[in-house]
Amino acid sequence: MSNKNILNSRRSMLLVFSKFGTIIGMVLMFLAFSIAVPSIFPTIRNITNIVNQASLSAIIAGGLTIALIIGEMDLSIANVASFSGVLVTGLMVESGFPVWLAIIVVILIGGVFGMINGLIITKLRVNAVVATLGTGSIIGGISYAYARGVPIASGVPEAFKQISLGKSMGIPNNILIMGGVLFILWVFINYTEWGFQLRAVGGNPSASRLSGIKVDRIKILGLTIASMCAALTGILLASLIGSGTSAAADGYLMPAFAAVFLGSATLKDGDFHILGTLIGVLFISIGFNGLAIFGVPTYVQYFFRGGVLILAVGLSSVARTMASK
């Protein structure tokens, strides 16, 4: 009996660690950086900067959360984001689209990519990792072909750049957009019929089918949303850097995965959820920002990125196995 108790208490300690570990780690990291570089790190300016930078990651990670909730993967999101940046600037500069129209068209095209991913996965029964690895490469290729390998920089309308650089009510637009998108995703997942069905399909596809849920359609929907979020991130990134550059957003893939997995272990038992994803994104952004301020060599940032990804997935699966025991 006592042996079992020790085991149980050890288990519950581990569970607490995985549930609140990300938040505790985030606070510790914040304190450490604040003590180490008090003049730069804990300033309002830097904190705004962190959240601002986190905004783009949070939108793409929010979409990825949906793909993971339905039990699939999407490795093409970063390529979709990169291409969207190129396409949105291209449409404005070369095809003379007004800013609003270019943005809408690009988000819709992002949705089409997601739909194609979904069709390949559900109808051709290609494993999601393989399918999206493939489509990701193809989308990357389209991006280079469209831009002919040259960044589209000159002639980008000022109004477009102001989306990412500007503020409304004193808050950077990116933060507002991120807040809006995550709120919509949260409501969608938790309080709509489709959102409910997304969770059901992710939880048990066969029970969902026998409850009249059209599983394939729901999976396609989830991947479409993931891709649309990726497109929005790409657009905002192009606005931020003022140009459309092939592969500009490729680096968003790994942090997005790390954030979503970190978030799944946070507060819940390994379930993917939007609030957790936001916390995961903030954790990673604080880490990146602090390391950059410290001026650590680039390779350390790579270590951080990879380490966090493995830690995140590990925590997530530990949380899940322990919850199911």
> Quick one: 124 or 210, whose CB is closer to other proteins?
210
**Smallest separation (angstroms) from other proteins to the CB of 223:** 20
Q: How far is CA 134 from CA 127, 130, 163, 222, in A?
A: 11, 6, 32, 18
**Among candidates 218, 189, 203, which has minimal Cα distance to 63?**
189
User: Which one of 87-95, 118-126, 193-201, 220-228 is the stretch in contact with other proteins (CB under 8 A)?
Assistant: 193-201
Question: What tokens does 49 get?
Answer: 């900067």
Q: Which of 76, 122, 135, 197 binds other proteins (CB under 8 A)?
A: 197
Q: Which of 193, 295, 298, 299 binds other proteins (CB under 8 A)?
A: 193
> Quick one: 216 or 250, whose CB is closer to other proteins?
216
Q: What is the pattern of x (binds other proteins, CB under 8 A) and - over residues 235-274?
A: ----------------------------------x-x---
- In the three-class reduction of DSSP (H, G, I as helix; E, B as strand; rest coil), residue 150 is classed as coil
**Among candidates 240, 281, 239, which has minimal Cα distance to 264?**
281
196 touches other proteins by CB under 8 A:
yes
Identify whether the C-beta of residue 22 lies closer than 8 Å to the C-beta of residue 265: yes
**Smallest separation (angstroms) from other proteins to the CB of 182:** 17
137 touches other proteins by CB under 8 A:
no
Which helix (H) or strand (E) segment is 190 a member of? helix 173-191
Report the site for other proteins in 201-240 (rule: CB under 8 A): 203-204, 206-214
Binding residues for other proteins, how many (CB under 8 A)?
A: 23
- In the three-class reduction of DSSP (H, G, I as helix; E, B as strand; rest coil), residue 149 is classed as coil
Report the site for other proteins in 295-324 (rule: CB under 8 A): 323-324
- Give the number of residues written for the chain: 325
**Smallest separation (angstroms) from other proteins to the CB of 221:** 15
Which helix (H) or strand (E) segment is 171 a member of? strand 171-172
**Smallest separation (angstroms) from other proteins to the CB of 191:** 4
**Smallest separation (angstroms) from other proteins to the CB of 123:** 15
**Smallest separation (angstroms) from other proteins to the CB of 152:** 40
- In the three-class reduction of DSSP (H, G, I as helix; E, B as strand; rest coil), residue 115 is classed as helix
Q: Which of 200, 249, 279, 315 binds other proteins (CB under 8 A)?
A: 200
Give the whole-angstrom CA distance, residue 167 versus residue 157: 17
The set of residues, in sequence order, having a beta carbon less than 8 Å from that of 87 and lying 6+ positions away, is 106, 109, 143, 146, 244
Question: What tokens does 303 get?
Answer: 């270590």
Specify the amino acid at residue 14: L
Question: What tokens does 15 get?
Answer: 């569970």
Give the whole-angstrom CA distance, residue 166 versus residue 183: 21
170 touches other proteins by CB under 8 A:
no
> Quick one: 158 or 193, whose CB is closer to other proteins?
193
**Smallest separation (angstroms) from other proteins to the CB of 202:** 9
> Quick one: 187 or 292, whose CB is closer to other proteins?
187
Per-residue b or e along 38-47, where b marks 16 or more CB atoms closer than 10 Å to that residue's CB? eeebeeeebe
Residues near other proteins, by CB under 8 A: 187, 191-193, 196-197, 199-200, 203-204, 206-214, 269, 271, 323-324
